[in-house]
Structure 1
Amino acid sequence: MWKVIKNRIEQGCKTSKYPRVPINLYHRYRGRPVVNEDCPMAVVEACAACCPQEAIRAGERCIDLGRCTFCGQCETVADGAFVNFSQDFDMGAVSREDLITDGNLPDLAGHAKTHFKKLFGRSLQLRQVSAGGCNACEADTNVLNTPFFDLSRFGIDFVASPRHADGIHVTGPITKNMRAALLATYEAVPSPKVVIASGACSISGGPFWGSPEIVGDLNSIIPVDLYIPGCPPHPLTTLSALLAFFK
C-alpha cells in the first residue's frame, strides 16, 4: 500500500489539463486543412488528380473532410500551394455539407442541439459500434479512457449495452454483414438518442468508398447528429467534438 502511495506522489497527476490548458501535438500531425483560395486552378486540378479519395474536386477550391484520409498527397503538389495541413484538431461538424470546406467550419458549440443538456444532464453514455472497420478508429477512441485523457471526468462513458446508452458512436464503413447488427443496436437505444459518425469510413466509406459491399454513409440509414472526420480521428478530435457538442 505504501509503495502505491509513494509511486503516486513521485509520478504526480498524468491527466492532461485540456481543455483548460491548450495542448500541442507532434509537428507531423495533419489536422484541419488550410486552403489557398487564390491558388491557380491548374494546381487545384493537379491536387484533385492525385487525391486517392476524390476528396478534392477538379474546379473547386475545397476539400471534402468526410472523404479525406489526410494522406498529405495534395500538400506535396507545388509545395503546398493549394493545401496545407494545420495542427488544429477541432474538426467536428453537425452536417455532412459542412465537411465540404475551404478549411473553415461552423462553430460546433453554436450549432449544438441545446436540448441535449436538458435531456442527458451532465452525463453521456455511448455504445461503440464497430461496423466493419480496420480497428484504427476504435483504438484511438479507446485511448480516451486512459489516464492521460480520462474521458470519464467529463461525464462521458462508453457502455457495454445499448439499453444503457444515450446514443451510438459508429466507426467503420458499415459492411453488408454489419448493417442489420447496427440497426438492431440503434433500435435498442432508448429514445431520445444521438448518433455519431466517427471516421471517414462511417461518413463516406473512406478507403472502401465505392465498394458494393459497404453502405459507406451512415446518414443514409439512420440520422446522424455529429460527424467526426479523420482516418482515424485523433483522440483530441473526438474529445473536442464531444465536449463542444454535448457540454
Structure 2
Amino acid sequence: MLDAVKDAVRKSSIHVCIVNCGGCNGCDVEVVALLSPRYDLEQYGIYVQNNPREADVLLLTGAVTEQWIHNLKRVYDKAPEPKIVVAVGNCPQSGDVFAQEGGHVHAPASNFIPVDAAIPGCPPRPSEILEAILSVGPQAIADRGREEK
C-alpha cells in the first residue's frame, strides 16, 4: 500500500539529490536558497531527497576532488533510471579556481558520469538552477512512465 502511494506521488513530482563533490559551497548556498519562501521549490513539485536511490535528478555542485572520483560514480549508479545529472556552477564543468596542473581537482565531471545539463556561474542564481531543473525534470518523469509500461 505504501509503495503505491509513493509511486503515485513520484509520477507527478521531481525528486532532487544534492551531491557536493568539493569546493567552496557557494553553489550549495544558492541551492538551499531555493528552499526559502522566496523561491519555494516545492510549489513546482520539486522535493529534495538525501537518498540518491529516490532521486530523479542529481544536482552536482563543487569541483570533483580526488576522493570523489569513485564515490561520484557509485552515487550515480545508485540513482534509478532515467538518470538526470545537472552540473551547478563552473566547478563541475571546469574546476574553476580549484583547477591546477597536477592538482587534486579533476574536471569536468562529465569525464566520470554523463551530465545532462550545465548551469554556468560562480555561483549561478537560484532562478537559473530552478530553470535547469524544470527543463530536465519533466523529461525524467515522462521517461519513467514509458519504462513502467
Same-fold call, TM cutoff 0.5: yes
1:191 is the counterpart of 2:81: yes
Report 1:36-55 matches (<5 A): none
Given candidates 5, 16, 32, the residue that maps to 1:142 is: 32
Which residue does 1:130 correspond to in 2?
20
Match of 1:178 in 2: 68
Match of 2:104 in 1: 213
Shift of 1:121: 4.3
AA partner of residue 163 (structure 1):
R
What's the counterpart of residue 106 of structure 1?
Answer: none
The structure richer in strand per residue is: 2
Give the alignment's TM-score, normalised by structure 1. 0.49
Whether the 8 Å contact between 2:85 and 2:117 is mirrored in structure 1 is yes
Relative contact order, higher structure (CA 8 A, sep 6+): 2
CA offsets 1:144-166 (integer angstroms, 9 cap, x no match): 00111000111111101111111
Give the whole-Å Cα distance in 1 for the aligned partners of 2:48 and 2:93.
20
Q: Stretches of 4+ moved more than 4 A in 1?
A: none
For residue 168 of structure 1, give the secondary structure of its aligned residue in structure 2.
strand
Q: Tell me if 1:246 matches 2:100.
A: no
Of 157, 161, 164 in structure 1, the residue corresponding to residue 47 of structure 2 is 157
SS in 2 for 1:170: strand
Amino acid at match of 1:124: I
Deviation at 1:214?
A: 1.2
Q: What CA distance in whole angstroms lies between the structure 1 residues aligned with 2:73 and 2:54?
A: 16
Instruction: Calculate the aligned-residue CA RMSD, in Å.
Output: 1.5
In structure 2, the residue matched to 1:222 is 113
The answer as to whether partners of 2:86 and 2:132 remain within 8 angstroms in 1 is no
Q: For structure 1, which runs of at least 5 residues remain unmatched after alignment?
A: 1-119
Equivalenced residue count is 128
Q: Identity percentage over the alignment?
A: 36
Larger radius of gyration: 1
Whole-Å separation in 1 of the counterparts to 2:137 and 2:57 = 12
